């Protein structure tokens, strides 16, 4: 697939590299320096390149939105028309110092994003994982037991694309349901962040859904 990365920081940079290593064509965009985007494209080793947000979106089969909540409006403006595009978001609706969700309970960042880009197909995924673990999960992708990664959305084709990307980088995709379930996934992502960065678990903390019986 052709994947456009909107936001090439901790999440977008690592996920873009791994999508490329998994065989996808990746365009890295939206960082404060073009040099960084070019370096990521080199590190990705596959057929990856640096571009503008508009170029990242133009021919993309899927777009990863990976910017701070305060930068969403700006990156969407630069990206241009997203009609019909699959937009996978890991962007959490956080305040400026990343200490709290600014919306929740009756809506979510993913649902508010879908209202902003009504003609795109939004899937919420990857936000429940600390970025530090992506490479080691990818390295271990041939092992039998993979960590789960929950995703949700309202469009079945978009969800199938997200599930493929999740699986390609070493996780077990778990369909959590429609996009409104992001209301529960986003606070869950904060719990994972709390365990990873504030507790004594470290970022390699993983979750795996098992049946009880």
Interacting residues toward ligand NAP by CB under 6 A: 7-12, 30-33, 36, 66-69, 71, 90-92, 94, 127, 130-131, 189
Classified as helix, coil or strand, 61 is coil
Classified as helix, coil or strand, 58 is helix
The residue written with tokens 């039998």 in the block is 144
**Least distance (Å) from ligand NAP to the CB of residue 124?**
10
**Least distance (Å) from ligand NAP to the CB of residue 26?**
14
Question: Cβ distance 159 to 124 under 8 Å?
Answer: no
**Least distance (Å) from ligand NAP to the CB of residue 91?**
4
Residue number with CB closer to ligand NAP (64 or 144): 64
Residue number with CB closer to ligand NAP (2 or 71): 71
Residue number with CB closer to ligand NAP (168 or 186): 186
Question: What angle do the packed helices 10-21 and 34-44 form, to 10 degrees?
Answer: 30
**Least distance (Å) from ligand NAP to the CB of residue 190?**
9
Residue number with CB closer to ligand NAP (89 or 213): 89
Question: Cβ distance 85 to 61 under 8 Å?
Answer: no
d(CA 161, CA 179): 15
């Amino acid at each position: 697939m052709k994947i456009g990365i909107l936001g090439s920081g901790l999440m977008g940079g690592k996920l873009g590299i791994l999508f490329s290593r998994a065989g996808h064509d990746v365009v890295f965009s939206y960082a404060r320096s073009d040099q960084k985007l070019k370096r990521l494209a080199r590190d990705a080793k596959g057929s990856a390149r640096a571009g503008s947000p508009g170029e990242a979106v133009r021919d993309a089969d899927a777009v990863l939105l990976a910017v701070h909540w305060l930068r969403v409006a700006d990156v969407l403006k630069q990206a241009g028309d997203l009609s019909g595009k699959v937009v996978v978001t890991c962007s959490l609706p956080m305040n400026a110092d990343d200490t709290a969700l600014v919306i929740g309970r009756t809506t979510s960042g993913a649902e508010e994003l879908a209202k902003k880009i009504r003609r795109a197909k939004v899937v919420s995924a990857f936000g429940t994982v600390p970025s530090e673990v992506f490479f080691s999960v990818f390295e271990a992708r041939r092992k039998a037991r993979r960590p789960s990664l929950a995703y949700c959305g309202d469009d079945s084709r978009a969800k199938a694309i997200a599930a493929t990307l999740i699986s390609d980088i070493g996780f077990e995709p778990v369909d959590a349901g429609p996009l409104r379930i992001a209301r529960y996934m986003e606070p869950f992502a904060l719990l994972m962040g709390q365990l990873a960065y504030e507790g004594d678990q470290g970022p390699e903390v993983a979750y795996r859904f098992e049946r009880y019986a």
